[in-house]
């Protein structure tokens, strides 16, 4: 049976983005995140995989342990909704602070998605990428995924930039709750 995934950006998509989030006590899920992810995973059977740029590590503002602690906190908060993220992938590099080769994992590169495909045998054709930034949507397009731009985080500004570049996400959602409805409807259309 094919394994499908919803690839998710983290900050600004699932949780509030205070900038270089390293303190687990500052993690605040955006409204509806738990319910939406529970629907996607428990009712629709998607793997939930976070792909995020965490250049704060190469900038010296965060440690890998801090990022891991924040990721663990997100799963702890999600456990109240009977759901968890299956895997967190992040790129700790930035071209200004790392070698060009190291920084190749950064979105808009689809490298983290392709790594998850290898790790979980994911079928990209029925999978989605959800995010609030231009690099998220470009990453999804580069991986051949259907893309959903959320208007939370920096989604509004990103939509304007993407429009100017004539790079349109497959769907636009107000928030993560609407994302789950869009994916459900899209899947139902496929089966009818």
- Indicate which residues carry an active-site annotation: 9, 11
Query: How far is Cα 171 from Cα 41, in angstroms, rounded to an integer?
Result: 20
Q: How far is CA 82 from the centre of its chain?
A: 19
| CA dist list (Å): 136 to 31, 59, 61, 79, 181 | 21, 21, 22, 26, 20
Task: Please enumerate in sequence order all residues whose Cβ is within 8 A of that of 156, keeping only pairs 6 or more positions apart, or say none.
Answer: none
Asked if 126 and 183 touch (Cβ cutoff 8 Å), the reply is no
Looking at the DSSP bridge assignments, the partners of residue 74 are none
């Amino acid at each position: 049976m094919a394994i499908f995934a919803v690839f998710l950006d983290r900050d600004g998509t699932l949780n509030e983005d205070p900038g270089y989030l390293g303190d687990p006590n500052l993690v605040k899920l955006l409204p509806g995140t738990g319910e939406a992810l529970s629907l996607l995973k428990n009712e629709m059977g998607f793997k939930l995989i976070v792909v995020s740029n965490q250049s704060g590590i190469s900038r010296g503002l965060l440690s890998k342990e801090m990022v891991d602690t924040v990721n663990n906190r997100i799963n702890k908060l999600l456990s109240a909704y009977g759901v968890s993220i299956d895997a967190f992938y992040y790129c700790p590099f930035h071209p200004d602070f790392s070698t060009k080769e190291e920084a190749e994992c950064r979105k808009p590169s689809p490298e983290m998605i392709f790594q998850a495909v290898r790790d979980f045998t994911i079928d990209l054709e029925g999978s989605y990428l959800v995010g609030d930034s231009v690099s998220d949507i470009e990453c999804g397009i580069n991986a051949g995924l259907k893309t959903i731009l959320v208007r939370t985080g920096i989604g509004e500004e990103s939509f304007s930039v993407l429009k100017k570049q004539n790079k349109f996400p497959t769907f636009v959602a107000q928030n993560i709750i609407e994302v789950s409805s869009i994916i459900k409807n899209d899947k139902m259309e496929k089966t009818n």
